[in-house]
Amino acid sequence: MGSYDTLLTNFTEDIKRENERLVASCYGGCRSELSGPQEFSGAFIITNERAVFLNKKYKPEEFITFDYKEIKNIRLLEERKVGFEAGAYSITLRDIKYAKAGDIAAELSNQLQQIQMEEETTAEEKEEFSQQVPFAYVPFTYNDKWWYSTWFITVLGILAVPTLFLSGVAAIILANVQKNKRLTITHHYQEMNEELNKRFQEKIFQMENEFADKKKLYERDMAQRAGEAAALDRTIESKNQEMTKLWDQQNSFGDQLESLQVSKRHLEEEHEQLGMKVMELAETASIAEGYRKLKEEVNLQDVHAFERAFDFKEADEYRTLYHSWKQQQRDMIVEDRAVMVHEGAFAGAEEEDEIPASHINMKKMMLRAFNEECELTITTLVKGQFETATNRIHKAFDQINMLALPFGMELSMDYLDAKIAELNICYEMLEATGEKDILLKEKAK
């Protein structure tokens, strides 16, 4: 639905179109009653622009009177007031001001048309005159030319009685015919004008009702939209309040998060401190456990409580077992099972001859160092020092492997187990028979 001004404009255009249709029908009826070259040619128009000019020039209460002589040129209206004459159409400027629908027009008589045809009119003025659209139509008075007046015809009759009797009779007949024709045209025009005004009023009434209905619908729609706008404003206000609450909660959560982060840092520091304490306690516990085991070992050694692995009574049995383990060690060395070589240690070497000499020498050095350390440990073995000797062999094993790791090699666990078994046999024989040198002598052979 449009605005009030749009509805008023549509209302105005509808009235103007209806007037054009009614005037066209009236104009056609008037033409049918006329004959000859002096047919009814149209209406004279006062436009809204000139009405505005008059509104500025004169007061609304003053009357402006127009007749067919002085209204023939529209420019006269812009220069001076026009005097009263009988039978002229008179309106006030207030009427012009309130005529919002368009133009105010007055249809002139057949004599006005003849005078206008006698005046010199340019083609441009005629075209502009023909394009004007009349808006309102008012009754007019039919005034004959002066030579059609009764007194003039009577004078002619008196002067022509002696010689022109027939001319006088013809003039009287002509006057009667003209009078009858005039009365017929006037009557027909009055009827058409009444019908036109009636239709015009009906159309005005109908369009006023339609305009009133549209205005009511417009007001109702505007009221509904105002209610919707108010509801929307309330919704926006509610959402703004919710948003404010959410911002407050976010700020509160931000403060809580910052506090939690501070607490987290404190807890991490405490956790780090506790971890250090745990490590210290673990180290202390490890030391205590080592001390406890060492103490137990010392106690066992003090009482000679050695747990034997072999339950032999004769030295020959120990000697046989000793030779068996020594043979296993030799087989491991010959079969390259004593030293393990990792994959990729000899990259690009497809045959044994292509293995770098440094790696071969490293393997020999590893076996020589480990064997000498084990022999020294077994040679110096005494009662109550089995665990110490075992730890010494393990320590030598780990150190040699650590040094050989960059070369991709390490001593095998099987070779270590063989050396520990040799140590165990020697120590048990020392415990059982008190002799250890026998094995060493056998080894020397």
Coil vs helix vs strand at 182: helix
Count of domains in the chain? Answer: 2
Examine residue 287 and state whether it is found in any structural domain, yes or no.
no
Show the domain range for 19. Answer: 4-144+176-219
Q: How far apart (Å, rounded) are the C-alpha atoms in residues 63 and 83? A: 10
- For position 167, what pLDDT does the model report? 67
89 and 202 inside one domain: yes
Closest CA relative to residue 422, chosen from 321, 303, 302: 321
In a domain, 422, yes or no: yes
Note down pLDDT in tens along the chain; length 445 residues: 445 456 556 655 655 565 555 444 443 333 333 333 333 333 333 444 444 444 444 444 444 444 444 344 443 343 333 333 333 334 444 444 343 333 334 333 444 455 555 554 544 555 554 444 343 334 444 456 777 777 887 877 777 666 656 766 777 888 888 888 888 888 887 888 888 888 888 888 888 888 888 888 888 888 888 888 888 888 898 888 888 888 888 888 778 888 888 888 887 787 777 767 767 766 676 666 655 555 555 444 443 333 444 444 456 677 788 888 888 888 888 888 889 887 766 544 445 555 667 777 888 888 899 999 998 988 888 888 888 899 999 999 999 888 888 888 899 999 999 999 888 888 888 877 665 554 555 554 4
Q: Report the pLDDT value the prediction gives residue 405, as an integer from 0 to 100.
A: 85
**Of 330, 424, 414, nearest to 377 (Cα)?**
424
CB neighbour burial string for 410-439, b if at least 16 within 10 angstroms, e if fewer: bbbeebbebbbbbbbbbbbbbebeeebebb
Query: What does pTM read for this prediction?
Result: 0.32
pLDDT at site 391: 92
Q: Which of 219, 253, 275 is the last residue of a domain?
A: 219
Residues 192, 52 share a domain:
yes
What does 229-265 look like in DSSP terms, one character per residue? HHHHHHHHHHHHHHHHHHHHHHHHHHHHHHHHHHHHH
Length of the chain measured in residues: 445
200 lies in the same domain as 326: no
- Do 81 and 194 fall into the same domain? yes
Q: What H or E segment, with its residue span, contains residue 13?
A: helix 4-33
Domain endpoint, select from 192, 219, 246: 219
Residue 310, in any domain of the structure? no
**Per the domain annotation, does 267 fall within a domain?**
no
- In degrees rounded to 5, what are phi and psi of residue 303? -100, 5
Residue pointed to by tokens 């006023």: 208
Same domain, 189 and 331: no
Nearest to 306 by CA among 436, 424, 439, 434: 424
Looking at residue 393, what is its pLDDT? 92
Q: What type of residue sits at position 208?
A: E
| Residue 335 per-residue DSSP state | T
Residue that terminates a domain, selected from 188, 219, 250: 219
- Per the DSSP assignment, residues forming a β-bridge with 44 are 106
CA-nearest of 111, 101, 77 to 91 is 77
- 36 dihedral zone (left: phi>0; alpha: psi -120 to 50; beta): left
Instruction: Provide the 3-class DSSP secondary structure of residue 89.
Output: strand
DSSP annotation string for 344-375: TTTTT--SGGGS-HHHHHHHHHHHHHHHHHHH
Please tell me the predicted confidence (pLDDT) of residue 17: 61
One domain for residues 50 and 186:
yes
Question: Does 232 fall in a domain?
Answer: no
- Measured CA to CA, the distance from residue 355 to residue 344 in angstroms comes to 12
Backbone angles phi, psi at 105, to 5 degrees: -130, 155
Give the whole-angstrom CA distance, residue 349 versus residue 345. Answer: 9
Structural domain contains residue 235? no
Q: Which of 182, 189, 137, 178 is nearest to 31 (CA)?
A: 189
Q: Where does 121-198 show beta strands of DSSP type E?
A: none
Measured CA to CA in angstroms, residue 19 lies from 5, 22, 424 at distances of: 21, 5, 138
Q: Using only the alpha carbons of the chain, give its radius of gyration.
A: 70
> For residues 41 and 47, what is the distance between their CA atoms, to the nearest angstrom?
19
97-109 in b/e burial notation, b at 16+ Cβ within 10 A? eebebbbbbbbbb
Rounded CA-CA distance 364/343 in Å is: 19
**Same-domain status, 190 and 337:** no
d(CA 359, CA 348): 14
Long-range contacts of residues 298-306, Cβ cutoff 8 Å, at least 24 apart: 301/383, 301/384, 301/385, 301/386, 301/387, 302/384, 304/383, 304/384, 304/431, 306/386, 306/427, 306/428, 306/431
Task: Output the pLDDT for position 208.
Answer: 87
Residue 228 lies inside a defined structural domain of this protein: no
Is the residue at 226 inside a domain? no
Reference 439, options 319, 300, 283, 260; nearest CA is 319
Paired with 338 in beta bridges are none
